[in-house]
């Protein structure tokens, strides 16, 4: 883009109010700096302050939310949020998690960019975006202790959840002139959960013929992001992998302190820096406001306010290029080291200028249709229900007798199988230990016992089986039904089976 395009002052924009949370630690300082830049670039914006985190907690709001904060955020549809301190080992639950869940912020979008040569980076030209599913996976927070030795966390992946995040990644790619979307999963091991995510990716990809696609296993994918980040453009991945990968990518870009993020839902969106509240430097005018400022740029783009977004982003790039830097990124040499507020002043002074060596941006403007709704509807179609056949059950037992001998447990279970079932196998920690197990397998007190009824069985027969187990003194801690969906097994096979 030419410098002239970066010089354009925004045309008159409609008035828009956004919710802002000033946060804890360095939050108030970097928010003040960011709001001053926003006010200079987009005077039609107004800010409605909400109190979240420690401030709200100390004012007597046990959840970390001021009375009507959630309603205010929902009514404006957009929240610009400074980092919040999370008390460790007590206090209120994570406000971030509550916000994500209450507002349905299903997509976490994190651009990871190297700003070489303004900031020396190991991979000049790196410019990728991680689109992380934000609500499901092991983050559903469903955990149970089941035996003396074993705890479990439920990994939930839903088809609608996969459809909307994958579609969001492709829509993001189209809207931002990206060329490729890479899906990362571990479906070689988790064939059902990660397999569904990958399958949905393959189903949706043909709807975007202009975008190249690929799939990588998350472990090698993360390694490649660390060593060859320029090979990537947009990456879409489930929640846990995305959590780790996006930090790796931001670190590789050399700029975790500069990294912005967007949390997008259908009716609301939240924008925040990736870093935390940095209590060690709070109140000293040392903090870098860039992560929050770039998050505010993402917010303006999301709202269709392309002109002020372009203005702020280019002025920020120019500030870096001119060597005006906060202490966290200022290496020795030809730089002017400044504090938080002076950095904001330097960006404001450069509003209307574009970078000359770094790539300038030019965001499109559009009319905001509904409160922060994505440009194109991403609604998920309901599919017809599958033909579902019940063909057995996995009984999970807490059992610590007979020296934990699988053969002894097998003999007891064979006696309760009754006419409806046959005992197919027993596994411990997923590994088959009966029949014909390996004596070297480490056995915990948690056993999965698979009873099969290939001709089909009723739920009542399963209840009767559980009753026989209880009468035999066996401690059934949970069951999982074995279904076939349209003829296809809806459960994993045992390892070593």
**214 versus 328: smaller Cβ distance to ligand NAI:** 328
User: Shortest approach of ligand NAI to residue 415 CB, angstroms?
Assistant: 53
Pick the stretch among 70-78, 122-130, 268-276, 446-454 that binds ligand NAI (CB under 6 A). Answer: 268-276
Residue in 160, 195, 276, 339 binding ligand NAI, rule: CB under 6 A: 276
42 is an active site residue: no
Q: How far apart are CA 387 and CA 382, in angstroms?
A: 15
Taking the complex as a whole, the smallest distance from the CB of residue 34 to ligand NAI amounts, in Å, to 11
Count of alpha carbons within 13 Å of 302, Cβ hemisphere only?
29
List % helix, strand, coil for the chain (3-state, nearest 5).
35, 25, 40
Residue 243 designated active-site: yes
The reply on whether position 278 binds ligand NAI by CB under 6 A is yes
In this complex, which beta carbon is closest to ligand NAI, that of residue 171 or of residue 328?
Answer: 328
Q: Provide CB contacts within 8 A for 21, sequence distance 6+.
A: 27, 31, 49, 50, 51, 52, 53, 69, 79, 80, 81, 82, 84
- 488 catalytic residue (yes or no): no
d(CA 125, CA 112): 11
User: Considering beta carbons, is residue 288 or 428 the nearer one to ligand NAI?
Assistant: 288
Q: Name every residue whose Cβ is closer than 8 Å to that of residue 22 and which is 6 or more positions away in sequence.
A: 28, 31, 32, 49, 55, 82
Residue among 231, 243, 285, 445 flagged as catalytic: 243
280 touches ligand NAI (CB under 6 A): yes
Binding residues for ligand NAI restricted to 228-257, rule: CB under 6 A: 257
What is the rounded distance in angstroms from the CA atom of residue 253 to the CA atom of residue 257?
10
- Catalytic residue chosen out of the listed positions 57, 186, 194, 434: 186
Total site size for ligand NAI, rule CB under 6 A: 19
Residue 272 near ligand NAI by CB under 6 A: yes
Token pair belonging to 184: 């990362």
Exposure pattern of 162-191 as b/e (b: 16+ CB <10 Å)?
bbbbbbbbbbbbeeeebeebbbbbbbeebe
Q: Does 344 bind ligand NAI (CB under 6 A)?
A: no
Region class of 262: left (phi > 0), else alpha (psi between -120 and 50), else beta:
beta
Region from 8-16, 188-196, 287-295, 404-412 binding ligand NAI, contact rule CB under 6 A? 287-295
CA atoms within 13 A on the CB side of 68: 7
By beta-carbon proximity to ligand NAI, the closer residue of 13 and 26 is 26
Q: Does 287 bind ligand NAI (CB under 6 A)?
A: yes
Q: Which of 247, 328, 400, 475 is catalytic?
A: 247
Can residue 51 be called a binding residue for ligand NAI (CB under 6 A)? Answer: no
Using alpha carbons, select from 389, 397, 409 the residue that is nearest to residue 466.
397
Distance CA 358, CA 295 (A): 19
In the complex, residue closest to ligand NAI by CB: 276
Pick one of 85, 193, 263, 365: the residue that binds ligand NAI (CB under 6 A).
85
| Residue tagged 């492709």 (tokens) | 170
- Pick from 127, 214, 247, 328 the residue near ligand NAI by CB under 6 A: 328
Work out the widest C-alpha separation in the chain, in whole angstroms: 83
Give Cα 475 distance to the centre of its chain: 37
Least distance (Å) from ligand NAI to the CB of residue 82?
Answer: 8
Interface mask (CB under 6 A) for ligand NAI, residues 10-49, using x and -? ----------------x-----------------------
Contact predicate 387/486, CB 8 Å: yes
110 binds ligand NAI (CB under 6 A): no
Site membership for ligand NAI, residue 427 (CB under 6 A):
no
CA atoms 220, 224, 226, 232: torsion sign: negative
Kindly indicate which of the ranges 62-70, 82-90, 208-216, 246-254 contains the residues binding ligand NAI, using the contact rule CB under 6 A: 82-90
Interface residues toward ligand NAI, by CB under 6 A: 26, 83-86, 96, 257, 272, 275-281, 287-288, 291, 328
Active site residues: 139, 186, 219, 243, 247
């Amino acid at each position: 883009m030419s410098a002239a395009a970066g010089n354009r002052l925004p045309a008159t924009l409609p008035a828009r109010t956004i919710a802002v949370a000033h946060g804890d630690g360095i939050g108030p300082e970097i928010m003040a700096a960011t709001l001053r830049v926003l006010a200079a670039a987009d005077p039609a914006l107004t800010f409605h302050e909400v109190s979240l985190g420690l401030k709200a907690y100390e004012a007597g709001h046990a959840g970390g939310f001021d009375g009507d904060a959630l309603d205010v955020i929902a009514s404006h549809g957009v929240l610009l949020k400074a980092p919040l301190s999370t008390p460790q080992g007590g206090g209120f639950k994570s406000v971030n998690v509550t916000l994500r869940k209450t507002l349905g912020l299903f997509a976490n979008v994190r651009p990871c960019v190297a700003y070489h040569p303004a900031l020396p980076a190991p991979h000049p030209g790196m410019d990728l975006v991680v689109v992380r599913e934000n609500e499901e996976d092991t983050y559903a927070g469903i955990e149970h202790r089941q035996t003396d030795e074993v705890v479990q966390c439920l990994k939930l992946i839903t088809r609608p959840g996969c459809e909307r995040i994958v579609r969001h990644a492709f829509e993001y790619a189209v809207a931002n002139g990206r060329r490729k979307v890479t899906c990362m999963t571990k479906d070689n091991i988790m064939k059902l959960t990660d397999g569904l995510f990958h399958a949905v990716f393959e189903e949706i990809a043909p709807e975007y013929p202009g975008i190249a696609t690929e799939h990588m296993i998350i472990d090698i994918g993360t390694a490649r992001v660390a060593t060859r980040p320029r090979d990537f453009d947009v990456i879409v991945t489930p929640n846990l992998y995305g959590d780790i990968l996006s930090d790796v990518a931001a670190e590789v870009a050399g700029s975790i302190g500069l990294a912005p993020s967007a949390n997008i839902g259908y009716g609301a969106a939240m924008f925040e820096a990736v870093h935390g509240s940095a209590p060690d430097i709070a109140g000293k005018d040392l903090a870098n406001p860039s992560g929050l400022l770039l998050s505010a740029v993402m917010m303006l783009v999301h709202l269709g306010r392309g002109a002020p977004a372009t203005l702020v982003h280019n002025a920020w790039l120019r500030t870096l290029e001119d060597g005006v830097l906060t202490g966290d990124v200022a290496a020795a040499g030809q730089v002017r080291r400044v504090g938080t507020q002076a950095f904001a002043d330097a960006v404001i002074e450069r509003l209307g200028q574009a970078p000359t060596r770094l790539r300038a941006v030019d965001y499109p403007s559009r009319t905001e249709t509904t409160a922060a709704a994505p440009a194109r509807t991403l609604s998920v179609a309901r599919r017809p229900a599958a033909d579902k056949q019940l063909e057995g059950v996995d009984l999970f037992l807490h059992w610590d007798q007979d020296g934990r001998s699988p053969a002894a447990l097998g003999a007891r279970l064979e006696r309760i199988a009754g006419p409806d079932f046959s005992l197919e196998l027993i596994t411990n920690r997923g590994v088959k230990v009966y029949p014909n197990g390996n004596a070297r397998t480490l056995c915990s007190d948690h056993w999965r016992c698979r009873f099969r009824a290939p001709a089909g069985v009723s739920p009542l027969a399963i209840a009767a089986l559980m009753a026989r187990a209880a009468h035999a003194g066996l401690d059934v801690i949970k069951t999982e039904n074995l279904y076939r969906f349209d003829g296809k097994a809806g459960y994993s096979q045992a390892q070593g089976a």
